[in-house]
């Protein structure tokens, strides 16, 4: 009597990947969550070039937004230009990374998301941030936060 044979492994993994792609709620929600978490992390940690007349340096986007509330309306308007440009770029990058991660199997998706998130968080410990009229002493994000208070 012939014994039943198992289907080839590549067919099972292909079918599982197709099933994962067809799951509407799980796939879409995860991609949106990944996109918005990465966007928030980039806004909070990635140093962007900040320049206003004679003041220049590298600040995270969230610090530029915070400075907008302490200045005059012209200062806030100039900062809004920075937020608009960098915010759109960060959103596009986060959407692209989330879309690429969503195509991966669940284990690799979680591992890729954790790696990117830890790399973005690790940036905040590096002395990259600062602003000044001429030269400035670069500091970590946590020291910058205490200086802006």
Does some domain include residue 19? no
Q: Residue 77: phi, psi to the nearest 5?
A: -65, -40
Residue 117: per-residue pLDDT: 93
Instruction: List, as own/partner pairs, every contact residues 76-80 make where C-beta atoms lie below 8 angstroms and the sequence separation is at least 24, other chains included.
Output: 78/52
Residue by residue, pLDDT tens for the chain (149 residues) are 566 565 555 555 565 555 455 555 454 458 899 999 999 999 999 988 887 766 677 888 888 888 777 766 667 888 888 899 999 999 999 999 999 999 988 889 989 999 999 999 998 888 888 877 667 778 888 787 776 66
Our separate counts of H helices and E strands in the chain read 6, 3
pTM: 0.72
What's the domain count of the chain? 1
Does some domain include residue 17? no
Residue 68: per-residue pLDDT: 78
Does some domain include residue 18? no
Does some domain include residue 70? yes
Does some domain include residue 42? yes
Residue 69: per-residue pLDDT: 78
Count of positions (residues) in the chain: 149
Q: Look up the domain containing 52 and give its range.
A: 25-148
Does some domain include residue 7? no
The C-alpha atoms of residue 47 and residue 52 are separated, in whole angstroms, by: 16
Does some domain include residue 106? yes
Does some domain include residue 1? no
Residue 7: per-residue pLDDT: 53
Per the DSSP assignment, residues forming a β-bridge with 122 are none
């Amino acid at each position: 009597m012939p014994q039943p044979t198992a289907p080839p492994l590549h067919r099972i993994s292909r079918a599982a990947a197709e099933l994962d792609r067809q799951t509407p709620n799980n796939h879409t929600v995860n991609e949106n969550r990944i996109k918005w978490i990465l966007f928030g992390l980039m806004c909070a940690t990635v140093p962007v070039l900040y320049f206003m007349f004679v003041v220049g340096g590298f600040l995270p986007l969230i610090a530029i937004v915070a400075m907008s509330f302490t200045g005059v309306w012209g200062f806030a308007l100039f900062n809004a230009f920075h937020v608009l440009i960098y915010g759109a770029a960060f959103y596009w990058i986060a959407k692209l990374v989330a879309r690429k991660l969503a195509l991966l199997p669940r284990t690799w998706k979680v591992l890729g998301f954790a790696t990117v998130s830890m790399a973005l968080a690790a940036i905040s410990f590096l002395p990259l941030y600062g602003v000044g009229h001429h030269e400035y002493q670069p500091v970590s994000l946590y020291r910058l936060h205490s200086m802006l208070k």
